Amino acid sequence: MRQKTKCGAHARSTGLPCQAKALSNGRCKHHGGLSTGPKTLEGRRAISQATRLSMASGGRILVLEGFYRWLDGGGSKTLSRLAKERERLKRWQRVIREQTQRIRMQAPYLVERPLNAR
């Protein structure tokens, strides 16, 4: 009788190997590897649209926060001097923008309004 192969992928949480039945690639359905992405033009457009929607609905902020954590954790050592300066400037502009928005929310009477607005 042929012996069933096990997946064997190690869990980071427990350190134990996965006991699920392996597919033809040697891993189970949960550990089969990364997707190769969409192949058709229609599929690529769908992914592009989904990414745009995700970035517009706050995903961009999460991505930036992760990138800044990476920079602070030592990732900046791999960046060039110009890239570091560009990121420092972008971060500073973002902080100023957030502070301005916070002030506008707390004290709307301080915000300049056009003369014709009532």
Q: What is the pLDDT of residues 63-115, one digit of tens each?
A: 888 888 888 887 777 777 778 888 889 989 999 998 888 888 887 666 666 66
**36, two tokens:** 């190769």
Q: SS3 for 11-73, per residue?
A: CCCCCCECCCECCCCCCCCCCCCCCCCCCCHHHHHHHHHHHHHHHHHHHHHHHHHHHHHHHHC
The total number of structural domains that make up the chain = 1
pLDDT at residue 117 greater than cutoff 60: no
Cα separations in angstroms, 118 against 112, 113, 115: 12, 9, 8
In a domain, 101, yes or no: yes
Assigned domain for 89 exists: yes
Encoded tokens for 113: 């309004």
pLDDT at 105: 82
Q: For residue 11, is it within any domain?
A: no
Residue 1 has pLDDT above 60, yes or no: no
Question: For 4-33, what is each residue's pLDDT tens digit?
Answer: 788 888 877 788 888 888 887 788 888 876
Q: Does this model's pTM top 0.85?
A: no
Q: Is residue 81 part of a domain?
A: yes
Instruction: Identify the CA nearest to 72 among candidates 95, 91, 93, 96.
Output: 91
Domain that holds residue 77: 60-109
Domain assignment of residue 69, yes or no: yes
Sign of the four-CA dihedral 40, 45, 46, 52: positive
Q: Is residue 45 part of a domain?
A: no
Q: What is the pLDDT of residue 33?
A: 64
Q: What's residue 115's pLDDT?
A: 60
pLDDT at 14: 82
Residue 87 within a domain:
yes
Is residue 37 situated within a structural domain? no
The two tokens of residue 28 are 């189970």
The whole-number average pLDDT for the span 47-62 is 82
